[in-house]
Structure 1
Amino acid sequence: MELQGNTVLIRPVRPGEAEILDRIVREPEVAAWWAPPEDYEGMLAVVLDGEAVGAAQYTQEDDPEFRHAGIDLFLTARVHGRGLGTDTVRTLARWLIQENGHHRLTIDPDAANAAAIRCYGKVGFKPVGVLRAHRLDHRTGQWQDGLLMDLLAHELR
Protein backbone atom coordinates (compact mmCIF):
# COMPACT_ATOMS: atom_id res chain seq x y z
CA MET A 1 0.00 0.00 0.00
CA GLU A 2 1.25 3.46 -0.90
CA LEU A 3 -0.88 6.56 -0.50
CA GLN A 4 0.25 9.80 -2.13
CA GLY A 5 -0.89 12.99 -0.46
CA ASN A 6 -0.31 16.51 -1.71
CA THR A 7 3.11 16.53 -0.05
CA VAL A 8 3.63 13.26 1.83
CA LEU A 9 3.78 9.62 0.86
CA ILE A 10 2.31 7.12 3.32
CA ARG A 11 3.56 3.54 3.08
CA PRO A 12 4.58 0.63 5.31
CA VAL A 13 7.68 1.17 7.45
CA ARG A 14 10.74 -0.26 5.70
CA PRO A 15 13.74 -2.04 7.25
CA GLY A 16 15.99 0.47 8.99
CA GLU A 17 13.26 3.08 9.45
CA ALA A 18 12.22 1.85 12.90
CA GLU A 19 15.40 3.38 14.34
CA ILE A 20 14.61 6.73 12.68
CA LEU A 21 11.03 6.65 13.96
CA ASP A 22 12.22 5.69 17.43
CA ARG A 23 14.46 8.79 17.50
CA ILE A 24 11.55 10.96 16.33
CA VAL A 25 9.11 9.63 18.93
CA ARG A 26 11.68 10.47 21.64
CA GLU A 27 11.97 14.15 20.60
CA PRO A 28 10.58 16.27 23.48
CA GLU A 29 7.87 17.82 21.26
CA VAL A 30 6.69 14.36 20.17
CA ALA A 31 7.28 12.51 23.46
CA ALA A 32 4.88 14.94 25.14
CA TRP A 33 2.06 13.13 23.30
CA TRP A 34 3.44 9.69 22.33
CA ALA A 35 5.11 6.87 24.19
CA PRO A 36 7.68 4.93 22.16
CA PRO A 37 5.92 1.90 20.61
CA GLU A 38 7.26 -1.56 21.39
CA ASP A 39 7.79 -2.00 17.66
CA TYR A 40 6.79 -0.34 14.42
CA GLU A 41 5.34 -3.43 12.77
CA GLY A 42 2.06 -2.54 11.12
CA MET A 43 2.73 1.19 11.25
CA LEU A 44 2.95 3.39 8.19
CA ALA A 45 5.88 5.69 7.49
CA VAL A 46 5.09 9.29 6.62
CA VAL A 47 7.65 10.15 3.96
CA LEU A 48 8.72 13.59 2.71
CA ASP A 49 11.24 13.82 -0.14
CA GLY A 50 12.25 10.17 0.35
CA GLU A 51 12.82 10.50 4.12
CA ALA A 52 10.66 9.06 6.90
CA VAL A 53 9.56 12.08 8.97
CA GLY A 54 6.96 10.33 11.10
CA ALA A 55 4.49 7.49 11.33
CA ALA A 56 0.76 6.91 11.17
CA GLN A 57 -1.45 4.04 12.12
CA TYR A 58 -5.08 3.15 11.79
CA THR A 59 -7.52 0.74 13.37
CA GLN A 60 -10.68 -0.69 11.87
CA GLU A 61 -13.80 -1.97 13.61
CA ASP A 62 -15.40 -4.37 11.16
CA ASP A 63 -18.54 -5.29 13.12
CA PRO A 64 -21.25 -4.12 10.67
CA GLU A 65 -23.25 -2.57 13.50
CA PHE A 66 -20.34 -0.40 14.70
CA ARG A 67 -18.09 -0.21 11.61
CA HIS A 68 -15.62 2.68 11.76
CA ALA A 69 -11.89 3.39 11.69
CA GLY A 70 -9.45 5.36 13.83
CA ILE A 71 -6.28 7.28 12.97
CA ASP A 72 -3.18 8.34 14.90
CA LEU A 73 0.15 9.87 13.86
CA PHE A 74 3.33 11.64 14.89
CA LEU A 75 5.80 13.77 12.94
CA THR A 76 9.30 14.99 13.71
CA ALA A 77 9.32 18.45 15.29
CA ARG A 78 11.39 19.89 12.45
CA VAL A 79 8.40 19.58 10.08
CA HIS A 80 5.73 20.80 12.49
CA GLY A 81 3.68 23.76 11.26
CA ARG A 82 4.11 22.93 7.56
CA GLY A 83 0.74 21.25 6.96
CA LEU A 84 2.17 17.75 6.74
CA GLY A 85 -0.03 16.48 9.57
CA THR A 86 -3.13 17.76 7.80
CA ASP A 87 -1.98 16.19 4.54
CA THR A 88 -1.28 12.87 6.29
CA VAL A 89 -4.63 12.75 8.09
CA ARG A 90 -6.58 13.82 4.98
CA THR A 91 -4.83 11.25 2.77
CA LEU A 92 -5.32 8.39 5.23
CA ALA A 93 -8.94 9.45 5.92
CA ARG A 94 -9.74 9.55 2.20
CA TRP A 95 -8.34 6.04 1.78
CA LEU A 96 -10.26 4.67 4.78
CA ILE A 97 -13.50 6.17 3.47
CA GLN A 98 -13.18 5.63 -0.28
CA GLU A 99 -11.27 2.35 -0.43
CA ASN A 100 -12.33 0.68 2.82
CA GLY A 101 -15.93 1.86 2.98
CA HIS A 102 -15.90 3.51 6.39
CA HIS A 103 -18.61 6.07 7.04
CA ARG A 104 -17.08 7.41 10.27
CA LEU A 105 -13.53 7.96 11.52
CA THR A 106 -12.31 8.79 15.02
CA ILE A 107 -9.18 10.38 16.41
CA ASP A 108 -8.37 11.06 20.07
CA PRO A 109 -5.60 13.61 20.70
CA ASP A 110 -4.71 14.71 24.19
CA ALA A 111 -7.15 17.44 25.22
CA ALA A 112 -4.16 19.79 25.75
CA ASN A 113 -2.67 19.18 22.28
CA ALA A 114 -4.03 22.31 20.60
CA ALA A 115 -1.89 21.94 17.47
CA ALA A 116 -3.16 18.42 16.77
CA ILE A 117 -6.77 19.45 17.43
CA ARG A 118 -6.42 22.35 14.93
CA CYS A 119 -4.85 20.00 12.38
CA TYR A 120 -7.66 17.46 12.64
CA GLY A 121 -10.30 20.20 12.49
CA LYS A 122 -8.88 21.32 9.13
CA VAL A 123 -9.67 17.88 7.74
CA GLY A 124 -13.24 18.01 9.11
CA PHE A 125 -12.99 16.21 12.45
CA LYS A 126 -15.34 17.63 15.09
CA PRO A 127 -15.08 17.38 18.88
CA VAL A 128 -17.43 14.80 20.37
CA GLY A 129 -16.43 14.90 24.03
CA VAL A 130 -13.67 14.64 26.58
CA LEU A 131 -12.28 11.22 27.43
CA ARG A 132 -11.37 11.67 31.08
CA ALA A 133 -8.08 10.11 32.25
CA HIS A 134 -7.68 8.64 28.76
CA ARG A 135 -3.90 8.20 28.41
CA LEU A 136 -1.20 7.40 30.95
CA ASP A 137 1.66 9.85 30.36
CA HIS A 138 4.77 7.66 30.22
CA ARG A 139 6.93 10.58 31.40
CA THR A 140 4.96 11.63 34.47
CA GLY A 141 2.86 8.59 35.36
CA GLN A 142 -0.22 10.85 35.39
CA TRP A 143 -3.44 10.24 33.49
CA GLN A 144 -4.22 12.81 30.78
CA ASP A 145 -7.59 13.68 29.28
CA GLY A 146 -8.20 13.08 25.59
CA LEU A 147 -10.52 14.77 23.15
CA LEU A 148 -12.63 12.36 21.14
CA MET A 149 -13.17 13.72 17.64
CA ASP A 150 -14.98 12.15 14.73
CA LEU A 151 -15.53 12.72 11.05
CA LEU A 152 -18.41 11.47 8.91
CA ALA A 153 -17.52 10.56 5.33
CA HIS A 154 -19.46 13.49 3.84
CA GLU A 155 -17.59 15.95 6.12
CA LEU A 156 -14.10 15.16 4.78
CA ARG A 157 -12.41 18.35 3.54
Structure 2
Amino acid sequence: MSQPTLQGARVRLRPWASDDVETVFALCQDPEIQRWTTLPSPYRHEDAEAFVGKFVPEAWAKGDPVFAVLDGGGGEPVGCIGAHGVRDGVAHIGYWTGAAARGRGLTSDALRTVVRWCLREAGVARVELVVDPGNRASAWVAEAAGFTAEGTLRQRLLVRGERIDVVMYSLLPTDPAAAAL
Protein backbone atom coordinates (compact mmCIF):
# COMPACT_ATOMS: atom_id res chain seq x y z
CA MET A 1 0.00 0.00 0.00
CA SER A 2 1.35 3.43 -0.88
CA GLN A 3 1.55 6.27 1.62
CA PRO A 4 -1.48 8.54 1.35
CA THR A 5 -1.68 12.27 0.78
CA LEU A 6 -3.69 14.02 3.49
CA GLN A 7 -5.53 17.32 3.26
CA GLY A 8 -5.85 19.61 6.26
CA ALA A 9 -7.62 22.93 6.59
CA ARG A 10 -4.46 24.88 5.71
CA VAL A 11 -1.89 22.27 4.70
CA ARG A 12 -1.44 19.25 2.49
CA LEU A 13 0.67 16.35 3.71
CA ARG A 14 2.27 14.24 1.02
CA PRO A 15 4.99 11.61 0.87
CA TRP A 16 8.52 12.94 0.44
CA ALA A 17 9.86 12.58 -3.11
CA SER A 18 13.39 12.19 -4.44
CA ASP A 19 13.33 15.72 -5.85
CA ASP A 20 12.78 17.11 -2.32
CA VAL A 21 16.40 16.55 -1.25
CA GLU A 22 17.47 20.16 -1.91
CA THR A 23 14.45 21.51 -0.02
CA VAL A 24 15.13 19.24 2.98
CA PHE A 25 18.77 20.28 2.98
CA ALA A 26 17.92 23.98 2.84
CA LEU A 27 15.22 23.80 5.54
CA CYS A 28 17.43 21.79 7.89
CA GLN A 29 20.15 24.45 7.84
CA ASP A 30 17.90 26.40 10.22
CA PRO A 31 19.60 26.57 13.65
CA GLU A 32 16.22 26.29 15.41
CA ILE A 33 15.42 22.99 13.69
CA GLN A 34 18.84 21.67 14.65
CA ARG A 35 18.46 23.02 18.20
CA TRP A 36 15.10 21.42 19.04
CA THR A 37 15.25 18.11 17.14
CA THR A 38 17.41 15.05 17.01
CA LEU A 39 18.46 15.81 13.42
CA PRO A 40 22.22 15.82 12.82
CA SER A 41 24.02 19.08 13.46
CA PRO A 42 25.61 20.25 11.30
CA TYR A 43 23.10 18.98 8.75
CA ARG A 44 24.93 17.84 5.61
CA HIS A 45 23.67 17.27 2.09
CA GLU A 46 24.19 13.52 2.52
CA ASP A 47 21.88 13.68 5.57
CA ALA A 48 19.10 15.06 3.35
CA GLU A 49 19.79 12.40 0.71
CA ALA A 50 19.62 9.64 3.35
CA PHE A 51 16.44 11.10 4.86
CA VAL A 52 14.55 11.19 1.56
CA GLY A 53 16.12 8.12 -0.05
CA LYS A 54 16.42 5.75 2.89
CA PHE A 55 14.81 6.86 6.16
CA VAL A 56 11.39 7.85 4.77
CA PRO A 57 10.82 4.70 2.65
CA GLU A 58 12.06 2.43 5.45
CA ALA A 59 9.80 4.20 7.95
CA TRP A 60 6.75 3.73 5.71
CA ALA A 61 7.63 0.05 5.21
CA LYS A 62 7.45 -0.32 9.02
CA GLY A 63 4.10 1.51 9.14
CA ASP A 64 5.57 4.84 10.27
CA PRO A 65 4.52 7.56 7.79
CA VAL A 66 6.66 10.66 7.37
CA PHE A 67 5.04 13.49 5.43
CA ALA A 68 6.20 16.63 3.69
CA VAL A 69 4.08 19.58 4.86
CA LEU A 70 2.96 21.94 2.11
CA ASP A 71 1.37 25.34 2.73
CA GLY A 72 -2.13 25.47 1.27
CA GLY A 73 -1.75 22.37 -0.81
CA GLY A 74 1.01 23.33 -3.21
CA GLY A 75 4.55 24.47 -3.74
CA GLU A 76 7.66 23.31 -1.96
CA PRO A 77 7.56 21.62 1.44
CA VAL A 78 7.73 23.98 4.44
CA GLY A 79 8.18 21.30 7.08
CA CYS A 80 7.94 17.68 8.09
CA ILE A 81 5.67 15.61 10.30
CA GLY A 82 5.74 11.92 11.02
CA ALA A 83 4.10 9.26 13.11
CA HIS A 84 7.13 7.36 14.31
CA GLY A 85 7.26 4.14 16.25
CA VAL A 86 3.62 3.17 15.68
CA ARG A 87 3.50 0.12 17.90
CA ASP A 88 0.80 -1.48 20.03
CA GLY A 89 -1.69 1.20 19.04
CA VAL A 90 0.55 4.12 20.07
CA ALA A 91 1.94 6.66 17.59
CA HIS A 92 4.75 9.03 18.52
CA ILE A 93 4.60 12.25 16.49
CA GLY A 94 7.60 14.35 15.53
CA TYR A 95 7.63 17.54 13.48
CA TRP A 96 9.74 20.49 12.36
CA THR A 97 8.89 23.61 10.40
CA GLY A 98 11.03 25.97 8.34
CA ALA A 99 11.49 29.51 9.63
CA ALA A 100 9.39 31.17 6.90
CA ALA A 101 6.34 29.03 7.76
CA ARG A 102 6.43 29.40 11.55
CA GLY A 103 3.78 31.27 13.52
CA ARG A 104 1.05 30.83 10.91
CA GLY A 105 -0.76 27.81 12.35
CA LEU A 106 0.49 25.45 9.65
CA THR A 107 2.21 23.06 12.03
CA SER A 108 -0.82 22.81 14.33
CA ASP A 109 -2.97 22.06 11.28
CA ALA A 110 -0.45 19.46 10.10
CA LEU A 111 -0.52 17.89 13.56
CA ARG A 112 -4.34 17.77 13.63
CA THR A 113 -4.34 16.29 10.12
CA VAL A 114 -1.88 13.48 10.87
CA VAL A 115 -3.57 12.74 14.20
CA ARG A 116 -6.97 12.48 12.47
CA TRP A 117 -5.45 9.96 10.05
CA CYS A 118 -3.78 8.01 12.88
CA LEU A 119 -6.99 7.75 14.90
CA ARG A 120 -9.44 7.16 12.04
CA GLU A 121 -7.42 5.27 9.43
CA ALA A 122 -4.40 3.69 11.12
CA GLY A 123 -6.19 2.28 14.16
CA VAL A 124 -4.09 4.16 16.70
CA ALA A 125 -5.42 4.29 20.28
CA ARG A 126 -3.01 6.92 21.64
CA VAL A 127 -1.00 9.67 19.98
CA GLU A 128 1.90 11.19 21.86
CA LEU A 129 4.72 13.62 21.38
CA VAL A 130 7.50 15.00 23.53
CA VAL A 131 8.70 18.59 23.73
CA ASP A 132 11.80 20.11 25.28
CA PRO A 133 10.44 22.30 28.12
CA GLY A 134 12.33 25.28 26.67
CA ASN A 135 10.68 24.95 23.27
CA ARG A 136 7.54 27.00 23.92
CA ALA A 137 6.67 27.22 20.22
CA SER A 138 6.45 23.43 19.93
CA ALA A 139 4.44 23.22 23.16
CA TRP A 140 2.02 25.79 21.71
CA VAL A 141 1.64 23.66 18.55
CA ALA A 142 0.74 20.61 20.65
CA GLU A 143 -1.67 22.56 22.85
CA ALA A 144 -3.32 24.29 19.86
CA ALA A 145 -3.96 20.84 18.36
CA GLY A 146 -5.68 19.70 21.58
CA PHE A 147 -2.91 17.66 23.18
CA THR A 148 -2.72 17.37 26.98
CA ALA A 149 0.57 17.81 28.83
CA GLU A 150 0.95 14.75 31.05
CA GLY A 151 4.18 15.65 32.83
CA THR A 152 7.94 15.87 32.60
CA LEU A 153 9.96 12.79 31.76
CA ARG A 154 13.37 13.36 33.28
CA GLN A 155 16.37 12.70 31.03
CA ARG A 156 14.11 10.84 28.58
CA LEU A 157 15.58 11.97 25.26
CA LEU A 158 19.13 11.70 23.97
CA VAL A 159 20.03 14.70 21.81
CA ARG A 160 23.57 14.84 20.42
CA GLY A 161 24.96 12.81 23.30
CA GLU A 162 23.15 14.73 26.05
CA ARG A 163 20.15 13.43 28.01
CA ILE A 164 17.39 16.03 28.29
CA ASP A 165 14.07 16.32 30.07
CA VAL A 166 10.93 16.42 27.92
CA VAL A 167 7.27 17.12 28.50
CA MET A 168 5.01 14.26 27.36
CA TYR A 169 1.85 15.31 25.50
CA SER A 170 -0.92 12.95 24.45
CA LEU A 171 -4.23 12.83 22.63
CA LEU A 172 -6.71 9.98 23.00
CA PRO A 173 -9.72 9.18 20.81
CA THR A 174 -11.95 9.97 23.80
CA ASP A 175 -10.53 13.47 24.29
CA PRO A 176 -12.80 16.36 23.26
CA ALA A 177 -10.15 17.61 20.81
CA ALA A 178 -10.21 14.25 19.01
CA ALA A 179 -13.94 14.57 18.38
CA ALA A 180 -13.29 17.92 16.67
CA LEU A 181 -10.82 16.41 14.21
**After TM superposition, is the score higher than 0.5?**
yes
Residues 91-102 of structure 1: pairs in structure 2 closer than 5 A: 91-102=113-124
CA distance in 2, matches of 1:2, 1:71: 17
Letter in 1 for 2:68: A
TM-score, with structure 1 as normaliser: 0.87
Q: Percent identity?
A: 30
**Unaligned stretches of 5+ residues in structure 2:** 41-46, 57-65
Higher helix share: 2
Q: How many residues align?
A: 151
Which contiguous aligned blocks of 4+ residues in structure 1 show a shift greater than 4 angstroms? none
Partner of residue 143, structure 2: 121
Asked if 1 retains the 8 angstrom alpha-carbon contact of 2:23 and 2:76, the reply is no
**What SS class does the counterpart of residue 118 from structure 1 fall into?**
helix
CA distance in 1, matches of 2:25, 2:36: 14
- Cα displacement (A) at 1:6: 0.9
**Unaligned stretches of 5+ residues in structure 1:** none
**What SS class does the counterpart of residue 36 from structure 2 fall into?**
coil
Which of 56, 68, 78 is matched with 1:53 structurally?
78
Deviations 1:39-94 (A, max 9, x none): 23323111123211111111211x3xxx2111111110111100001000000000
- Cα displacement (A) at 1:16: 1.9
CA distance in 1, matches of 2:144, 2:111: 10
CA distance in 2, matches of 1:19, 1:51: 10
CA distance in 2, matches of 1:152, 1:29: 29
- Cα displacement (A) at 1:105: 0.5
Is 1:105 aligned to residue 127 of structure 2?
A: yes
CA distance in 2, matches of 1:136, 1:118: 22
- Cα displacement (A) at 1:129: 1.8
TM-score, with structure 2 as normaliser: 0.77
Asked if 1 retains the 8 angstrom alpha-carbon contact of 2:119 and 2:125, the reply is yes
Deviations 1:134-153 (A, max 9, x none): 33333xx5332111111111
Which of 93, 111, 132 is matched with 2:154 structurally?
132
**What SS class does the counterpart of residue 82 from structure 1 fall into?**
coil
CA distance in 1, matches of 2:122, 2:15: 17
